[in-house]
Amino acid sequence: MNINQISIFLENRPKHLSEICRTLSRANVSIVTLSLADTADFGIVRMIVSDHEKARQALAAAGHVVNVREVLAVTVPDRPGGMAEIMELLDSAGVNIEYSYAFAFHHGEKAVLVFRFDDNAKAAKVLEAAGVITLNERQIEESAK
């Protein structure tokens, strides 16, 4: 199942990321995880948050450039080969990864990988058919409580 991720354009200047975090805190949105992608001149910060719509509105109102995209949050079995199996499933389905980042869920009990694929719907189908667990919006919301 896909979940919503917010992405924010990051200028290469001091304090930009702290402004973004402060805006989210004022809107009472918690950050479940974030990942930074950058070049020498600008970056993109991607976040999974407790309430993506509230976050989007607050950030846009504060003048930031935001968009919302769907990603898959996949739980990875905590044993040797756990990750390899998932990758092989995706390889055989011919799905490509645009980007990915990891975080620990429920106080480190589970490793979760966030993926953006070139074909998210297809990837979700393949993973679910193989019994791989993906997190849904409700689980994300609850984890932030």
Partner 1 sequence: MHPISKPDYMPIEELRKLQLQKLQKLVPYEYERVALFRRRCDETGVKPRDLVTLADLAKFPFMKKTDLRDEYPLGLTAAPMKEIVRFHCSSGTTGKPICIPNTKGDVEVWADATARCLAMYGLTDEDVLQVSYGYGLFTGGLGLHYGGEKLGCAVLPTSAGNTEKQLMLMRDLGTTAIACTPSYFLHVIEVAKKLGIDFRRDTKLRHGIFGAEPWTDEMRAKIEAESGVVAHDIYGLTEISGPGVAGDCGCGGLHVWEDHYYPEIVDPETLRPLPDGERGELVFTTLDRFGTPMVRYRTRDLTRLRPGTCPRCGRTMRVMDRVSARSDDMLIIHGVNVFPSQIETALLRIPEIAPHYQIVLTPTETLDLFEIKVELTPEAFSDNIRALEALRKRVLAAVKQIIGLTPKIILVEPNSLPRSEGKIKRVIDNRKK
**Considering only CA atoms, which of 43, 41, 101, 42 is closest in space to residue 73?**
101
| Nearest-approach distance from CB 13 to partner 1, in angstroms | 8
Give the Cα separation of 73 and 78 in Å (integer).
15
Residue numbers at the binding site for partner 1 (CB under 8 A): 5, 7, 9, 11-12, 37-39, 41-44, 46, 60, 63-67, 69, 98, 116
Q: Retrieve residue 10's tokens.
A: 């990051």
Residues 6+ apart with CB under 8 A from 132: 74, 75, 86, 89
Q: In terms of CB distance, is 18 or 39 closer to partner 1? A: 39
| Nearest-approach distance from CB 65 to partner 1, in angstroms | 5
Q: In terms of CB distance, is 20 or 132 closer to partner 1? A: 20
| Nearest-approach distance from CB 129 to partner 1, in angstroms | 27
| Nearest-approach distance from CB 71 to partner 1, in angstroms | 9
Measured between alpha carbons, how far is residue 40 from residues 20, 88, 113, 138 in Å? 20, 33, 26, 36
What DSSP designation does 12 have? S
Q: In terms of CB distance, is 28 or 96 closer to partner 1? A: 96
What DSSP designation does 134 have? B
